[in-house]
Amino acid sequence: MKIIVFLGIVFLTMGHQMAYSDRNDGADLLFIHGHVITMNDDLPQAEAVVIKNGKIIYVGNNKQAMMLAGRYSKVINLHGRTMIPGFHDVHIHALEAGSEVGGNCWLKGSRLKALKPQLLSCLQKQQGTDWLLAYGHELETLLEESQDPRGLLDSWINDRPVAIMEQSSHSVWANSKALIAAGITASDKNPRGGIIMRYTSGPRVGEPNGILLETAGEQVYDLALKPNPTAALINYEGLQWVMDELPQFGITSISDARVYWKRGWLKVWHQAEENEDLTVRVNLGLWAYPNEDDESQIEYLKKQFRYDPERLMQINQIKIYSDGIIHNTTAALKEPYNVSLYGVPATGLNYFDEQRLTKYIARLQPSGYDFHIHTIGDRGVHEALNAIENNRSEKPDHRHRLTHVEMIDDDDLPRFAKLNAIADMQVAGKFTLPENQYWQEPYLGKRAFRTYRLKDLHDSGAHYVLSSDWTVNDLNPFIGIHNAVNRGEQSITVEQALNAYTKAAAYVMRSEKRTGSIETGKEADLVVIDRDILAVPRKSIKNIRVLLTMLSGQVTYQSAEM
C-alpha cells in the first residue's frame, strides 16, 4: 500500500503541553482537540481518536486519550479541525478514468466544430491499440447538427478506426473504418440491449449511420480494447494514477462498477494488489456481458468470486444492466416516451430482462455475489426488484442494489425496504438538480419532474447510499453531499448524506464491521477536513477540502496545510 510520511507532526504539536508516560506499549498515534464526527449513534461526536496497529483503540475525550500515549507515540493536535470516517464511493469507473489506451481523449465543447481540432490533436496520444478512442461528445448535439454522423467523422479522420464514446458512456460515434473493423453492416440485426442507428433516407438508407446505442457501442469498444501487453502496461499506469487521485478526496473504499474482464482489466487489478499499490479498499464488480452465452459466462464468474475481509480487494459483486438511459430513450419505462430515437422501442430496452436477471441472481447469489444492477427507468427498477424478490430467501443476506434509480413508481418505493434492496443514487452532476431537470421534459413530459426521489427513498425506510459514478460525475464526495442537501423537496439532511457516503455505503461493501464509522475496534480509515461539515452553510459544503486521509492508520494523502 502506498503511504505518505507525516510532514506536519512538529507543526501540529507545537505549543501544546504533553506528558508522555514511560510505557513502551502505548498507542501509535493520537489525534486530540478535534471535532470528531463518528457516525456512531452511541457516541455521535468526540474530541480524540487513538490508533494502534492500524485500528482505533479509543474514541472519546482528550484526557482519557492521553492516558494511552507512550514514549514513542505520535500526538497530533487537530486544533479544532473536523475528522470524519473515510468516504466509500461504491460506484466509480477506475480504469475507464485512468487508462490512456487509444489516446483516452476527452473532448469538450457544445458544438461539433469545436471537437475536430481536439480529436486531431489526440492522434499523437494514440497507443495500445490501432484505434483512436475518445470520450465526451453529446448525443443530442450530434443528432441536431449532423445529418450524416458517419460521413462527418470520416471527413475528419478516415485512415484508421475511430470511436468516440458519448459523455454518458451509453452510445458510440464511429467512423466507417470502425464499422468495417467491427463487421457492422446494413444486414446486421441489433444486438441484445443495443441499437445500430441507420440512415433513414438517401442512397445509404438502411446502412449504419455511425451512431451505436448501448451494447452496439460496447461491442465496438471491446474490439478496440482487446488485451495486449502494451495495453496492459498502460492500464496499470492508469490505475496507479487513480490510486493517487482517490485519497485526495478522502476516499478510502470504492466499488469499481464495471470490470471488463474480457479486456484484461481483472488482471490489472490483481497485479495492483500483488504489488501493494492499492490506496483504498476495493470491491470489484465484474461485468455481465449481455451478449455472452449464459452458461459459460456464469461458470466463469463463479470461479472468480473471492471475499476475505483481511485483504484490501474483494471480488464479490456483479455489475449487470437492466436498461439504458433517458436521453437515449433506452431506459426501460412503464409508459412510452413522448418521443423516442429512431429504432428504439417506445418503452426503452433491456440489456437483461427480468427473466434473465432472475436467472443470473439465482445462479450467482449462492456463490456469495452481491448484484449491482443498473436501473434508470421505472420499469427497469420494477423488473430488478422483481428479480430480487424471485430469489428471496427466508433470511436474506444479500446486499443487492439498484444503482441510479432515477425513476421510481410509487408502488415500488416501499419494496426497497421490504426486499432489503439498496438504492444507490448519484446526484453529483448538476443535471440531477431539480432546476435542471427540464432537459428530460421532451422525452418524459411531466414525469421529468418526479425523478431522483432521494427524500422519498429516505422516507420509505429504504437503505440508500450516494456515490459518484465517476467519470460521468465529479469524484468529489462533498459535491455529491452538497447536491443531496440542496435539492428542494427532495433534500436530505447533511447527517443523512454523510451517512450515505460512509456507514451506509460500508454495508454495501460488506465492510460495516470494519469501516464506515469511527468506533473502537474498527480500522483507522480517517479523514481530516478544513471545516465543520455540520456547521457550514449548506451552500458552502461543496467547497470543503480534505487535509488528511488515512487507511488503516497509514497516511495516503496529506495536504500542505496539514
Mean pLDDT of the 344-372 span: 98
528 and 473 in a common domain: no
Residue 21 in this model has a pLDDT that exceeds 70: no
pTM score, whole prediction? 0.94
Host domain of residue 158: 130-224
530 and 494 in a common domain: no
pLDDT of residue 3: 59
pLDDT of residue 4: 57
pLDDT of residue 2: 61
Mean pLDDT computed over every residue of the chain: 94
Residue of higher predicted confidence among 17 and 349: 349
pLDDT of residue 13: 41
Domain assignment present for residue 119? The answer is no
**150-195 tens-digit pLDDT:** 999 999 999 999 999 998 889 999 999 999 999 999 999 999 999 9
Number of Cβ within 10 Å of residue 302's Cβ equals 14
CA atoms within 13 A on the CB side of 456: 16
Residue 37 belongs to domain with CATH number: 2.30.40.10
413 and 369 in a common domain: yes
Domain assignment present for residue 99? The answer is no
Residue 223 to residue 101: CA distance in whole angstroms: 13
Using the structure block, give the residue that is written with the C-alpha cell 440491449.
Answer: 193
Domain assignment present for residue 104? The answer is no
477 and 348 in a common domain: yes
pLDDT of residue 23: 60
Q: What are the start-end ranges of the E strands in 25-140?
A: 29-32, 35-37, 45-46, 48-52, 55-60, 74-77, 82-85, 87-92, 105-106, 132-137
Nearest Cα neighbor of 556 from 34, 12, 47, 54 is 54
Alpha helices in 250-290 (DSSP H): 265-274
Residue 235 belongs to domain with CATH number: 3.20.20.140
Residue 78 to residue 311: CA distance in whole angstroms: 30
Mean pLDDT of the 307-313 span: 95
Domain assignment present for residue 323? The answer is yes
pLDDT of residue 11: 36
503 and 427 in a common domain: yes
Q: How many domains does the chain have?
A: 3
**376-385 tens-digit pLDDT:** 999 999 999 9
170 and 140 in a common domain: yes
329 and 250 in a common domain: yes
Domain assignment present for residue 116? The answer is no
Strand-pair category, 35-37 with 82-85: parallel
